[in-house]
Amino acid sequence: MLKTRILSALVLAPPALLAAWAGGYFFALLVALAAALMCWEWHRIACGGFGTAGRLAAVCSVAAALWSVHDPASALVMVAVATLLSFLLVCPVHVRRLWSGLGAVYVGLPVVALVWLRGDPDHGAATIGWLLLVVWATDSGAYAAGRSFGGPLLMPKVSPKKTWSGLIGGMVSAALVGAGVAWAVGAPAVVAVAGASAVLAVVAQIGDLFESWVKRRWGVKDSSAIIPGHGGVLDRVDGLLTAALAVAALALLTGRVPLGWS
């Protein structure tokens, strides 16, 4: 399984990094494809199948990703509309209506955040590359530290394998990789970026745990089987979704992306 996971990562990572470097509609199309697949997976897990609400959420998420290249504010309106309609159009079971609407937000907001961050004229490509590398470093560091040191479980009722040592290992790995990226691109605040990277590791782990909780809530092991060794798209990018929102929030609060901090 580890060999399969590594091979899948080696196949998927280059297109992701290439699209992040190219930017514009190249990156937006990749994000749009992932968004459609995530909507499909979410509705299969939490809404009993990929019905009208799921298809609507997928179409709106794709449109939001593409529209974000030029008008992120309008893209957010699309996400809001998708959320409302997903709630109204899903099957009559009230709980599943709530989950349908939540899915549109869960997928749509990070989609807009990612494309908006890539659109930064000075640091867009570097920011997406940094974000991807930090999330990947978090996963790898957490896996290595958890296997090496073990210890108390982080949230045993949600994820029976995640440990506190794994979280710390993920934070250390993320900080080191974040500092390396900041130094490589000539960012003026290497230490601050390293600290932000460590915090992002925690945020990414929260995203991972949330998706694990959703799957456990509905009795599902993987969101799908589309990626060998990893499960589904949601299984692969759950941490990235929350991390992208956190970086977008930081950029809005500080007026610039972390790699532009001085």
pLDDT given at position 6: 67
Q: Are residues 53 and 125 in the same domain?
A: no
Backbone φ and ψ for 161, nearest 5 degrees, come out as: -115, -15
Q: Are residues 110 and 43 in the same domain?
A: yes
Total tally of structural domains belonging to the chain: 2
pLDDT given at position 5: 62
| Domain end (from 118, 153, 179) | 118
- Greater model confidence, 13 or 2: 13
Backbone φ and ψ for 102, nearest 5 degrees, come out as: -60, -40
Q: Are residues 142 and 240 in the same domain?
A: yes
pLDDT given at position 88: 82
d(CA 196, CA 212) in angstroms, rounded, equals: 24
Structure tokens of 127? 């920011």
Burial class (CB in 10 A: 0-12, 13-18, 19+), 200: buried
| Domain end (from 57, 86, 118) | 118
Q: State pLDDT tens for residues 189-245.
A: 999 999 999 999 999 999 999 999 999 999 998 899 888 767 899 999 999 999 999
Q: Are residues 7 and 31 in the same domain?
A: no
Q: Are residues 259 and 235 in the same domain?
A: yes
Q: Are residues 94 and 203 in the same domain?
A: no
d(CA 32, CA 247) in angstroms, rounded, equals: 19
Q: Are residues 147 and 129 in the same domain?
A: yes
Cα angle 135, 136, 140 (rounded to 5 degrees) comes to: 120
Q: State pLDDT tens for residues 42-94.
A: 999 988 788 888 899 999 999 999 999 999 999 999 999 999 888 887 655 66
Q: Are residues 136 and 97 in the same domain?
A: no
What does the DSSP 8-state code read for residue 187? -
DSSP labels, 144-159: HHHHHH--SEEETTTE
CB 142 within 8 A of CB 172: no
Q: Are residues 146 and 236 in the same domain?
A: yes
Q: Are residues 148 and 79 in the same domain?
A: no
pTM score? 0.92
Residue 126's domain comprises 1-23+121-262
Backbone φ and ψ for 54, nearest 5 degrees, come out as: -65, -45
Three-state SS at 231: strand
| Domain end (from 118, 136, 171) | 118
Numbers of helices and strands, H then E, in the chain? 9, 2
Question: How would residue 2 be classed by pLDDT, with cut points 50, 70 and 90?
Answer: low
Backbone φ and ψ for 183, nearest 5 degrees, come out as: -65, -40
Least confident of 115-119, 133-137, 224-228, 254-258: 224-228
Q: Are residues 242 and 142 in the same domain?
A: yes
Q: Are residues 148 and 243 in the same domain?
A: yes
d(CA 167, CA 154) in angstroms, rounded, equals: 8
What does the DSSP 8-state code read for residue 90? S
pLDDT of 10 above 90: no
